[in-house]
A and B are shown apart, each in its own frame.
Chain A
Amino acid sequence: MSQHLSERQIAEWSLGGRDPEVDRHVAYCAACRAELERTGSALAAFRESARQWSAREMERVPHTGWRAQDPPRWNAFRALRWACAMAVLAVCAGVSTMAWRSHQAPAQDSAAADAMLLKQIDADVSQTVPDSMEPLVKLVSWDGTGAAARN
């Protein structure tokens, strides 16, 4: 191998893959040996820092251990949350319905009043003579008998 190691060869090596050809090259190429050592030490430092960080954070989290009743408790808590949410929804729905009904009642009243007014207007319009001329109508007959009487 005349050239330096490729990225793929370095990656293979970092994943634990060993190739005799790479080993032979590393034995005499100081640059590639340094590169492999640098990558290896960085990954080891990363691994160690992750493990230390995690161990320290785990100490801060209280863990009571596992009990068989843990899942049901967790489910009960979840069910309680759902029940609360449903109760809030039910209250909201009730309030909305009441508000809707109170809004509908005046509307129904005004609709009835409108209907009565329309009926009255209808009656007025359907009259053949105005109210003020009603007495004259009683005196005059329009069907011809009145004319005969005049004659």
Chain B
Amino acid sequence: MAARLTAGGLGTIAPPRSEDFASVVIACRPKVFRFALASLRDRDAAETVAQDCFVRAYQGWDHFRGESSVETWIMQIAVNLVRDHLRNRKLRFWKRAQQTAVPVETMGAALADGAESAERRVLLQEQAKAVWDAAGRLPEKQRTVFLLRFVEDMELLEIAAATGMKEGTVKTHLFRALRTVRERLGAPV
């Protein structure tokens, strides 16, 4: 199953055995949950997205052609679910109140692990907070590619496959997102 997770170009893949799919869930769930949490900033919503994502992947396994890795395919489902969730939430404005603030302050010790001083730790916390603030204000597509790139470490081609955009479009969104983030961080050079 590990090969299925990473290799592309496998052609039509048979429906997964339960234990095979369980290994997919174990491998991909942290990534899906993390992306959903960073996008929605709501733990319950992120968990719902993660569950729906794997249910859909299981049910739609026949449609997976192996043109990308299983992980990228799963992320494609997650991206669509997060987008749907965000659009639904626009109609339910009270859900905004349930968004949880990113607790950057409580992450200080581990965030600045190995930092030489308390001053450096505070600086890192402030920088992380500034990036979170900026990411929250980004347009949906820019935020999606930004999170996939800078939280999930996905390559541009993988992001393009997961979002259905062209690679050049992904790059353009990333450039714009980075400009906004850097502006939020402070005056550029």
Contact = CB atoms under 8 A, between A and B. Distances in A.
A65 B132 contact: no
A45 B128 CA distance: 5
A65 B25 contact: yes
Interface residues of A, number: 39
A53 B110 CA distance: 11
Contacts of B150: 43, 46-47
Nearest to B184: A42
Interface in A31-61: 31-32, 35, 38-39, 41-43, 45-55, 57-58, 60-61
B37 A47 contact: no
Contacts of A32: 189
B103 A53 contact: yes
A70 interface: yes
B12 interface: no
Interface string B145-186: 001011101001000000000000001001100110110011
B64 interface: no
Given A39-B185, A65-B25, A45 B43 contact: no
Contact of A57 (B18, B29, B37, B186): B37
A4 interface: yes
Interface in A93-116: none
B18 A61 contact: no
Contacts of A54: 30, 33-34, 37-38
Nearest to B18: A68
B185 A67 contact: no
A7 interface: yes
Contacts of A11: 174-175, 178-179
Interface of B: 17-18, 21-22, 25-26, 29-30, 33-34, 37-38, 43, 46-47, 51, 54-55, 58-59, 102-104, 107, 110-112, 124-125, 127-128, 130-132, 135, 147, 149-151, 153, 156, 171, 174-175, 178-179, 181-182, 185-186, 188-189
Given A7-B182, A15-B171, A71-B55, 11 more contacts: A10-B178, A11-B175, A38-B127, A38-B185, A48-B111, A50-B34, A51-B34, A53-B38, A58-B33, A60-B43, A71-B59
Which 9 pairs of residues, A with B, have the shortest CB-CB distance?
A68-B18, A54-B34, A46-B131, A42-B127, A45-B128, A66-B25, A66-B22, A49-B128, A45-B124
22 contacts: A11-B175, A14-B178, A15-B156, A32-B189, A35-B189, A43-B181, A45-B128, A46-B150, A48-B110, A48-B111, A49-B102, A49-B132, A50-B147, A53-B38, A58-B33, A61-B33, A61-B43, A61-B47, A65-B25, A66-B21, A67-B18, A74-B55
Interface of A: 4-5, 7-8, 10-11, 14-15, 31-32, 35, 38-39, 41-43, 45-55, 57-58, 60-61, 63, 65-68, 70-71, 74
